[in-house]
Amino acid sequence: MKYMKPLIAANWKMNPVSKKEAEALFEGIKNGVKGASSEVVICPPFVYLSILKGLTLGAQDVYFEEKGAFTGETSALILKNLGIEYVIIGHSERRKYFNETDEIINKKIKKALEAGLKIIFCIGETAEEKDAGKRNEVLQRQIQDGLKDVIDIEYINIAYEPVWAIGTGNNCSVEQTKESIDFIRKFVPEKTRILYGGSVKSENSRAYIEEVGSNGLLVGGASLNAEEFVKIVKSAE
Ligand code: PGA
């Protein structure tokens, strides 16, 4: 839908390494995106969530239990009570390094919705899956299993992030992204935003909104440079 406000989200991953740098990056972005018509969300490491103020924040992960003896974890309720609006769930790095399955992701999505968080749900095929012609099959499985028994689809934003495009500089072509997004669209209502992520830079960002018709972007590496991220936000105007 053309009138949907684009969502431009920054996934800082495990960066930056000091509070001082996190604050400087955040301030730079905050000043630069003033008056932007897109919805801008910053997803920093957990420890910075309570010190950064003035832009919408998202966590990069969440646990599927509410509270209690789960050392090291953070619940959706804790995030919600802190004033956090969004959470990224199912990022390919969590799937790969932390063995997150579609089933775990589904539990996290349900719990996050229950707490009233908005979700950026990441899906995408690996290079091997792409080469084997299994892209659509993988996307369909990730959507259907990840969103199993989920009714509140309107709070879900889907980020299509081909794993081979993440952090590689090898961003997905306009044609291929359009194909995938059109495919994903078959499984979700019209009001669900579908974003693109994977080596987004200010030189390629506009095409994903204008030509592909995606409803936003999930930006990793390029969101660690305030000037560059601001340019990306402006390119979606
Ligand atoms: P990238 O990461 O922009 O550095 O490719 C995107 C992501 O992992 O969300």
**What is d(CA 21, CA 24) in angstroms, rounded to the nearest whole number?**
5
Round the average pLDDT of the chain to a whole number and report it.
97
> Which residues share a beta bridge with 120?
88, 157
Task: Measure 225 CA to ligand 1 centroid, in angstroms.
Answer: 13
| Region of residue 34 (left: phi > 0; alpha: psi -120 to 50; beta: else) | beta
State how far the Cα of 33 lies from the Cα of 35, in Å rounded to an integer.
6
* Percent of the chain at pLDDT exceeding 70: 99
Report in angstroms the alpha-carbon separations of 202 from 10, 95, 184, 227, 234: 13, 27, 25, 10, 9
Question: What share of the chain has pLDDT > 90, as a percent?
Answer: 95
- The pick from 87, 94, 218, 225 for probing ligand 1's pocket by mutation, whose C-beta has the most ligand atoms within 8 angstroms, reads 218
- Check 39, 91, 93, 228 and give the catalytic one: 91
At residue 209, the 3 state secondary structure works out as: helix
pLDDT at 2 over 70: no
Task: Say whether pLDDT at 94 is over 80.
Answer: yes
3-class secondary structure, 29:
helix
**Is there a catalytic annotation at residue 73?**
no
161 as an active site residue: the answer is yes
Looking at the predicted structure, is the pLDDT value of residue 1 above 80?
A: no
- pTM of the predicted structure, to 2 decimals: 0.97
With cut-offs at 50, 70 and 90, classify the pLDDT of residue 154: confident
Q: What is the mean pLDDT of the segment spanning 141-158?
A: 93
Q: What is the pLDDT of residue 152?
A: 78
| Cβ of 161 less than 6 Å from ligand 1 | yes
* Domains present along the chain, CATH in parentheses: 7-235 (3.20.20.70)
Cβ atoms of 111 and 66 within 8 Å: the answer is: yes
88: left (phi over 0), alpha (psi -120 to 50) or beta: beta
